[in-house]
Amino acid sequence: NCALCHFNLAYAYHENNQIEYAQESYEKAIDLDPTCSLFLEHLARLHFENQDYLEAIRFFHRSSLIGHIQPISLGLWGRALFEQGLYEQSIETFEHLLEREQQPTIFAGANYWLALANLKLKRVAASRQITNKLLKHQNVDHKLLCELGEHFIEAKCLSIAKKIFESVAIQKEEEILVRLRLDDIKSIEKQIDEMLPKLFDGDEER
């Protein structure tokens, strides 16, 4: 009947990737002590890892109502909300994370998901602003920036995508794929330049 013993057993199962046993032991710990936010938080993480995002959201929420939720859990909570298409709530969660924590990895990750969530909501200006802040920050993982650039291309936001890939190309000269992507963007821009004059007939319209 010791909740902490069940939690420690669950943690060991979790680390050993014995998911069913871990979940059972986390749930037993929570049954014995439903007021411990740490127990709820770890069960939420387990659900997140299993891509059971709705359950992860539910337990992260319960945990936050009881106690102080850890930064990594806030990030996972924001991700779970994003994966469920709850973009407004995802933005709120990542903003809350950035208010509490400015460690470089967390700063980069949180802003990456903030930019994507705003893109999903068609808030291009907000997404560009967040991305510009990321580009000014030192030591942001270039793979993360490239992924963001791909999302901007998909959203037809070529100027910010070009800026991202140019920034990565300067820092990582060996990135051939980045340079190829820049060539793709320039090719699209050339097509646009050729199309625009043909869209209108009269001088005034042009």
pLDDT at 125: 94
Position 174 pLDDT exceeds 70: no
- Using alpha carbons, select from 135, 136, 119 the residue that is nearest to residue 127: 119
pLDDT at 48: 97
121: DSSP letter:
T
**What's the CA gap between 60 and 41, in Å, rounded?**
6
Instruction: Mean pLDDT check: name the lowest of 24-28, 73-77, 134-138, 200-204.
Output: 200-204
39: DSSP letter:
H
CA angle, residues 126, 116, 154, in degrees to nearest 5: 100
**95 and 130 Cβ atoms separated by less than 8 Å:** no
**115 and 130 Cβ atoms separated by less than 8 Å:** yes
How many other CB atoms are found less than 10 A from the CB of residue 91? 23
How many other CB atoms are found less than 10 A from the CB of residue 119? 22
**32 and 8 Cβ atoms separated by less than 8 Å:** no
CA angle, residues 153, 158, 164, in degrees to nearest 5: 80
pLDDT at 73: 95
198: DSSP letter:
G
Reading phi first (left if > 0) and then psi (alpha if -120 to 50, else beta), residue 36 is in: beta
Position 67 pLDDT exceeds 60: yes
pLDDT band at residue 202 under the 50/70/90 scheme? low
How many other CB atoms are found less than 10 A from the CB of residue 99? 9
End-to-end Cα, the chain, rounded Å: 79
Mean pLDDT calculated for residue range 160-184: 79
pLDDT at 189: 82
Task: Return the percentage of the chain with pLDDT > 90, whole number.
Answer: 67
**118 and 106 Cβ atoms separated by less than 8 Å:** no
- Specify the pTM: 0.85
